[in-house]
Structures are given as C-alpha cells and as structure tokens.
Amino acid sequence: MNNYKIKIHYLYHSGFAIETSSHFLIFDYYKDSFDSCKHTLENGLISKDLIKNKKNVLVLCSHRHPDHFNPVILKWQEVNPDVNYILSSDIKIKNPPENYHKLSPYESLNSNNVYIKAYGSTDIGISFLIKVDGITIFHAGDLNLWYWKEDSREEQKSAEKNFKREIKKIKGENIDFAFFPVDPRLEEYYSLGGEYFINEIHPVFFIPMHFWDNSYITKNFAELTKHSSSKCLIINHRGQTFDFT
C-alpha cells in the first residue's frame, strides 16, 4: 500500500479539511458553529486564525445547496490572500474575486500545482477529482444513487440509469481516497450508491459522508463492505482526524 502523506479532518456532513505535504484543501464547508464550541479543527470548525497560517489553501464547493455551501468561506480570503476558491458554476457570487474559479461538469483546471476535474452529479452541481502531491482524491458532492422509496418505479429506474452513466465516466481513474454519500434518509437503500461505486471504481479508501448527526451509519456501511476491495473509514464524531502521515 502507498505511503500516503495526508491528514483528513472530518468537519461535518460532507465537509472535510485535508492536509497534504504542501496543500490544505477544504471541501463543502457547511456548519460554522456548534453551540459554544471554539472554532478548531477538533470541533469540526474552520477559524480565520487557522486559515491565516496555512499555505496553498484550496476551498472547494460542489454546489449551492445550503448543506454544502456556506458564504462564510468567502471571508477567509480577508486573512489569507493565498486562498483559492474552486466552486461549482451553479454558485453565483457577486463581484467574484480574482482567486475564484468556477467549474461545470467535465471541465478541468490546474491551480497551485493541483489538478482538478469536475464530474457530474445526480442532483445539482458537480463532483471533484483532485490530484495533489501524488494523491488522487474524489469528492462526490451530491453524486449518489438517490433511490427514494416514495418515487415511482419509473423515477427509480431513471435515477439508477443516470447514476450508473455518471460512474462509467469516472471508471479508469485510480482513486486513493473517495468521499461519498451514505444518506440515512434513503433507509434500506442508503448503501446502493456507495456499494456500486466501490465495485466499479475500487478506491483504496472509502470515506462516508452526507449523514448529518447519524454517524452510526458509517459503521454499518463499513461492516457491509468489509470484504470489498476498499477500506471504509468509520467516522465516530465531528472533528475526527485520520492521520496517514
């Protein structure tokens, strides 16, 4: 197995902060306060003091839904001019700064020696494929098999078809760390998208997300996929750190 130099901090829901050997990436930052908790990574929160002292900061947002995009992220550039924003094109910013880059599905760019390609979603916005410091990361955003029990059979078939079509486009990428929804609202179908993704893409590590306060579901999914080709991380609490360094 590769000797990864990466730290992954679970923030909340689909939000993660990732430290590699020379970059600091933040994905889908959502909640910016929890009761009276201090703004620390250990509490799943990003402070201006933290941002101020980081180099090569990339802030990525997959779409405009409020559980994925918090406008507070735009204030971070006030304390660190080295922040670059990579946002889905459905997010509309008035008077966007020079360090703002928008992506639509299947567009790509290079920023500070980081390669970023947008794939599609089965909701709105995009998913991200990132190549940074020798590591390949995939963050799905709201790309998932949204198999809702209350939908008609035709709607369920269409959701499955659209999802599998998108996964086919990602096939062939050698992904080290994949962040992917395991949404408990789907009830017994919560695992369908993640299982299919693992079976088709074979990431080295699978990191569950999009579960709000229901972290128990990450243990359930890890047990369900324990014999698969991917190692599923179990998330127990907000602010949890996975240190591969």
Domain boundaries, the chain: 6-243
pTM, rounded to two decimals: 0.98
Give the fold, CATH level 3, of 6-243.
Answer: Metallo-beta-lactamase; Chain A (3.60.15)
User: Could you tell me which residues come within 8 angstroms of residue 85 by beta carbon, excluding any fewer than 6 positions away?
Assistant: 58, 59, 60, 61, 73, 74, 77, 97, 99, 100, 101
Q: State the CB neighbour count (10 A cutoff) for residue 80.
A: 16
* Residue 218 near residue 225 (C-beta atoms within 8 A): no
Q: Which of 193, 176, 170, 139 is CA-nearest to residue 15?
A: 139
Say yes or no to pLDDT of 55 above 80: yes
- What was the pLDDT predicted at 120? 98
Say yes or no to pLDDT of 1 above 60: no
Number of Cα atoms under 13 Å in the Cβ half of residue 180: 33
The mean pLDDT value of the chain amounts to 97
- What was the pLDDT predicted at 57? 97
**Angle CA(218)–CA(223)–CA(229) in degrees, nearest 5?**
100
- What was the pLDDT predicted at 232? 98
DSSP letter assigned to residue 122: S
- What was the pLDDT predicted at 167? 98
